[in-house]
Amino acid sequence: MTRPPTHQPPASPAPGWQPSSSRRFLKTDPILDCYCESENTGEVYNFCYVDPQNSTNIGKKFNCSFVETMEELKLLNNPGPFRPIRDFYKNQDDIVFASITSDDHYTVHAESFATLRSYYPTHKYILYGLNMTQVYIDKLPKNDTNFEFRSFDTSRYPKYVETWLHYRFKSIILAEILRDYENVWYIDAHLKFAPIEAQKPEFIRTFLEEANSERLTEDFSPVTSFVNSGHSNFAVLRHGLLDYLPTNSIQLLKEIHQVGSGALHIPRTSKTIEIFKWFVLCALEEKCMNPPGAQLHCQFGPNTMDDYANCFRYDQSVLNLLLLNQYQDYHKYGFYQPFLNLFRSYRYHAPYKYFSKHNFFKRI
């Protein structure tokens, strides 16, 4: 399943090289085969993902038409300064909570939000709406000065981003929030807090305390998941994804559990920006986050690690591949001990009815 290298690793532009205003120049110059030039700034960026474990394993070039969008999201031209990772683990007061919902999943989100507010009544909370109608917008909190609603504006992105079942929206929305805030804690609308009294107000503090003592070294990811999917990455992988994001870790894809993308801590660091560069580019590229043959419904057998389940987890599969390629160990980007029973999921491993893009969470 590893995509064989088709060209040499992308070289940096030669000293003294001046950006050309012609994209044709970039496409024909072999030295710059992986590079795209911004029509707005003249800056040149690498648009070929390179496997961190094998610099000769290079992905297919992403479309240069996304350069300006990526610049606007500050995923290409973000010089920092970036706070040390330790700063994000010392204080939970500046955490910004975020979630995404639609009309059909509003009720579950409202319950999750109410529970979270009982623990953290004054933290900033941003809710993105996917084509939410006014009926549900009118139900949003009116007197919570730290609550912000944003209707997801898809006009600046490819039309297929509006196909919600491909989950491109999540990485893009998270990038928008990360551009505006440094310390983001994301919780999916389909996750509800389980009624475990002893863990209620402690789940963030517990993580931050351990992270501040155990997870400060460079071999830990700044992006952390708090949900274990119960299956491997291999089980829910589509070959077409590897055209853009190649890997040499096929055996690890079978051995390591996929982490969920429904509960994430995302501090803005240089490493986070690098991960999100490829995460968002994959969402913008039509056949990256929706490779040929992708479908959500899985056919799991007794062995959820070695056997292929003939399905794809879209944003979750992409994020896991990027993190596994970089860190080689899901303990470096997953944290489960006090969280195993904290969330109840109302989405995975069940057949769905897809009536419209407003009802993409509705189950049979």
DSSP characters over 97-114: EEEEE-GGGHHHHHHHHH
Bridge-partner residues for 150, per DSSP?
128
Q: Has residue 3 got a pLDDT over 70?
A: no
Q: Given 75, 99, 125, which residue is the final one in a domain? A: 75
Same domain, 50 and 112: no
User: What predicted TM-score, i.e. pTM, was given to this entire model?
Assistant: 0.85
Structural domain tally of the chain? 2
Is the pLDDT confidence value at 262 over 50?
Answer: yes
Check pLDDT > 50 for residue 352. Answer: no
User: Is residue 99 domain-resident?
Assistant: yes
300 and 168 in a single domain? The answer is yes
Residue 176 sits in the same domain as residue 98: yes
Output phi, psi for 241, to 5 deg: -60, -35
Q: Are residues 142 and 270 in the same domain?
A: yes
Residue 189 lies in a domain: yes
What span, in angstroms and rounded, lies between the C-alpha atoms of 329 and 52?
Answer: 14
For residues 69 and 117, state if they share a domain: no
Indicate whether 170 and 47 sit together in one domain.
no
Rounded to whole angstroms, how far apart are CA atoms 128 and 132? 9
Q: Are residues 41 and 181 in the same domain?
A: no
Task: Assess whether 114 and 24 both reside in one domain.
Answer: no
- Asked if residue 292 has a cis previous peptide bond (ω within 30° of 0), the answer is no
Q: Please write the tens of the pLDDT for every residue from 306-337.
A: 999 999 999 999 999 999 999 999 999 998 76
Report pLDDT for 191: 75
pLDDT in tens, 12-26: 333 333 333 333 333
Please give the residue range of the domain that contains residue 325: 85-345
CATH number at residue 168: 3.90.550
pLDDT tens across 277-287, in order?
999 999 999 99
Residue 190 pLDDT exceeds 70:
yes
Asked if residue 359 belongs to a domain, the reply is no
351 domain residue, yes or no = no
Same domain, 302 and 261: yes
Domain presence at residue 358: no
Q: What percentage of the chain exceeds 70 in pLDDT?
A: 81
What average pLDDT does the chain have? 84
In a domain, 44, yes or no: yes
Q: Which tokens sit at 39?
A: 């029509």
Flag whether pLDDT at 295 surpasses 70. yes
Percentage of the chain exceeding pLDDT 90:
69
Taking CA atoms, 341 is separated from 193, 197, 349, in Å, by 9, 12, 17
For residue 279, tell me if it sits in a domain: yes
Residues 175 and 52 in one domain: no
Task: Please give the residue that has the higher pLDDT: either 196 or 63.
Answer: 63
Name the burial class of residue 288, with classes exposed (0-12), middle (13-18) and buried (19+) by CB atoms within 10 angstroms of its CB: buried
Q: Are residues 60 and 113 in the same domain?
A: no
**Does the pLDDT at position 155 exceed 90?**
yes
Is pLDDT at 94 greater than 80 in this prediction?
Answer: yes
Is residue 170 located within the same domain as residue 233? Answer: yes
- Give the β-pairing of 224-225 and 263-267: antiparallel
Instruction: Give backbone dihedrals phi and psi of 32, rounded to 5 degrees, phi first.
Output: -110, 25
pLDDT at 20: 33
In a domain, 69, yes or no: yes
pLDDT (0 to 100) of residue 199: 52
